[in-house]
Chains A and B, each alone.
Chain A
Amino acid sequence: MVSELPWDSKTGTLKRELAQGMMDPASRRALEAALQIKETQGAHICAVTMGPVMAQEILHQAMALGADAGVLLTDRRMAGADTFLTSHILSLFIQREYENFDLVICGSQTSDSETGQVGPQLAEALNIPAIGYVNQISVKENTVEAQRHVDDFFEILIMDLPGLITIDLSAYKPRYLALEGVEKAFENPDIRRIDVTGLGLDESFNALKDSPTRIIDVFSPTSQGNNRVLKGAVKKVIDQLFDEYGKVISSAMGKDLKTHEHDEV
């Protein structure tokens, strides 16, 4: 849960140095989807992440699983980027280095801040179509067919490539890593680090300052312990309930309860 993580209340950002690094569960599934495409149709997979140097571990993990290349976007000046700037930075990398990409696959949301915003915002930045919360994809020629669970039915969409898909947590159970893969992923892996300059950003770039989002507070909902038990005859209790809480209930329901008759209960 987000609020259980070490947050810096002054900057409104996650203290990543205190959190145990891991590949996001949704990203693991996104990579699994990519690996399955590679196995059936062939593909070049580049795993990209933005974060401090220690985040490179997950690129080794991605390569151990079968990614062909890994890129770490890392720079002190990128620290504190909100989802908008993160998407912007990712889009710069893709435009500069993978101009002819076919498909961007993201996890639907991170397990730390859980906003689910980076994928769709990245599609906007790249000006390509996107489908979010997908649980099954199949690539055909220049299109991708994607299925997602919406309410009580499955929705199937067909999208032109290039496009972007976010994979949710319901499918593409990640495979386990073989130990040989881990060992190999540290033997001359194709992993690069790119900083602000490498992305063509201005030297004065400062993600913390330039991010439009400000997080004011992060907290878990807590019980106030203010429950009241109304006692007495049913009619009396209901009248009391509407008299004292009518406004609150009205606002929660979006209807004015005063227009409803309740005297005849």
Chain B
Amino acid sequence: MDFNPCMKHQLIRKTVREFVESEIKPHVALMDKESRFPWEIVDKMKPLNFFGLQAPRIYGGADLDTISYAITIEELSRVSAALGLCVTVHNSVGIYPILKFGTSEQKKRFVPAMARGDSIGAFCLTEANAGSDAGGVETNAVELKDSFILNGTKIFVTNGGVCGTILVFAISEGKDQKSHASVFIVEKDRPGFSVGEIEDLCGMRANPVSSLFFEDCKVPKTNLLGKMGQGMKIGLTALDTGRIGIAAQALGIAQAAFESSVSYAKERQQFNQPLSKFQTIQNYLADMATKIDASRLLLYRAAACKDSGKTFSAEASMAKLFCSGTAKEVTDLAVQIHGGYGYSKEYDVERYFRDAKVTQIYEGTSEVQKMVIARSILSRPS
């Protein structure tokens, strides 16, 4: 068992860090303040394969392994959690389900533009009355001869305001008179599709999270992803891989808050000595470092599980549960260490604190992760 990162993973980290430190970091505070999605930065990210991280090269992707993927999201989120969110959602629940369940025609039709970053992906499941309970979805799809008609409203859609290719989770009545969930691929220029107002959220403000409306939105039958009734399976598979991305995002936020705290604790003088000389602060830093390290190990294990072809559902949930908890706790301590300054927008830790919380909510709440983990434990033969 080797806990040292290999040369490739070290170089992936340095490569991403170099880009985000020079091209994104100087703009992050303003992006957050103005709740602005930075298209000009996205244009610089496109040729570097941020939008096709794991897509095969025949579709223009970088074909990265999942640990490299996790490192990329971690490093991106260490500087901009909002862009980290955009990229991980686009790759993990936008492109990945099409690669996993799509026909060869669908892959050729949708993946190249997405992998280039010319069409940003979104996955919409959540509705006013359905979130953790995916069975409560009311958006419906009526099957016609050669098409489907979609009607419904999705809320809290990450990348909603900027998406080009949308995976929509909808129900339809089958020949057996029962409701079946399916996933449909909708292009943004389909008549009947529209974007609602951008949500006014606590954190991730540079990501245009929005509602999406489908009003008699007609899509050809060739836009059905997988088979009719396969929606739940596609959704759960997408979420498993999405959770690795969100765990990486949470880890990146925690890492940033930790680094700020260490340097602030060394600089800030109180009672004629730096904060770092106080045992209380040392304890905080030790707790932060330990949780971050444990989070990273859980995350990379989940990623390695996925690459080895094993089931990784419980591992991804453990990583997501622990990393998001770490992000919340570490950013809280970071604000505490920074004192009044930490509560001010003058310092980045205030943003980390706001950004961290949602990692415990989306892509399955912490409570849902525990359900997944418990189900896995209890289904094992005793």
Q: Are B7 and A179 in contact (CB under 8 A)?
A: no
Residues of B within 8 A of A264 (CB): none
Q: Is B11 an interface residue (CB 8 A)?
A: yes
Q: Is A60 an interface residue (CB 8 A)?
A: yes
Residue-wise interface mask of A (55-68) relative to B, using a CB-CB cutoff of 8 A (1 in contact, 0 not): 01100110010000
Complex CA distance for A61 and B11, rounded to whole angstroms? 7
Interface size on B, residues (CB 8 A): 25
| A202 interface residue per 8 A CB criterion | no
Which candidate, A89-97, A116-124, A180-188, is the interface stretch facing chain B? A180-188
Let me know if B50 and A180 touch, CB within 8 A: no
Q: Which of the segments B13-21, B130-138, B297-305, B349-357 contacts the partner chain?
A: B13-21
| Chain B stretch 1-42: residues in CB contact (< 8 A) with chain A | 7-8, 10-12, 14-16, 18-19, 23
User: Of A54, A56, A182, which is within 8 A of B12 by CB?
Assistant: A182
Contact, CB under 8 Å: B12 / A179: yes
| B49 and A178 contacting across the interface, CB-CB below 8 Å | yes
The residue in chain A whose Cβ has the minimal distance to the Cβ of B52 is A180
The residue on B at minimum CB distance from A186 is: B8
Interface residues of B in 200-227 (CB under 8 A from A): none
B64 within 8 A of A: yes
Q: Is A177 at the interface (CB under 8 A from chain B)? A: yes
A233 to chain B, nearest CB (A): 42
Task: Indicate whether B72 reaches chain A with its CB closer than 8 angstroms.
Answer: yes
B7:A183 contact, CB within 8 angstroms: no
Asked if A179 and B48 sit within 8 Å, CB to CB, the answer is yes
Which one of A56, A57, A177, A182 has the greatest number of beta carbons of chain B within 10 Å? A182
List CB contacts (< 8 Å) of B105-130 with chain A.
none
A20 to B16, CA, bound (A): 16
Most buried by B among A22, A56, A183: A183
Contacts of B61 in A (CB 8 A): 180
Q: What residues of A have a CB within 8 angstroms of the CB of B64 in the complex?
A: 179, 183
Complex contact B10–A179 (CB within 8 A): no
Tell me the nearest residue of chain B to A20, going by C-beta. Answer: B14
Q: Quick check: B14 and A179 within 8 Å, CB to CB? A: no
Chain B, 37-57, CB within 8 A of any chain A CB:
44, 47-50, 53, 57
Chain B residues whose C-beta falls within 8 Å of the C-beta of A61 in the assembled complex: 11, 14-15
Q: How far is the CA of A155 from the CA of B44 in the complex (A)?
A: 35
Contact B48 A57 (CB under 8 A): no
Which of chain A's residues have a CB closer than 8 A to the CB of B11?
Answer: 57, 60-61, 64, 182, 185
Which residues of chain B are near A154, meaning CB under 8 Å?
A: none
Instruction: Knowing A60-B11, A178-B48, say if A183 contacts B62 (CB, 8 Å).
Output: yes
Can you list, as one digit per residue, whether each of A140-165 has a CB less than 8 Å from chain B (1) or not (0)?
A: 00000000000000000000000000
Chain A to chain B contacts (Cβ below 8 Å), 8 pairs: A22-B14, A176-B44, A176-B48, A179-B48, A179-B68, A182-B11, A182-B12, A186-B7
Interface residues of chain B, those whose CB is within 8 Å of chain A, are: 7-8, 10-12, 14-16, 18-19, 23, 44, 47-50, 53, 57, 61-65, 68, 72
Since A182-B12, A183-B65, A185-B11 are in contact, a sample of 13 more A-B pairs with Cβ atoms closer than 8 Å, ordered by chain A residue number, is A57-B11, A60-B7, A64-B15, A176-B19, A178-B48, A178-B62, A179-B53, A179-B62, A179-B68, A180-B61, A182-B11, A183-B64, A183-B68
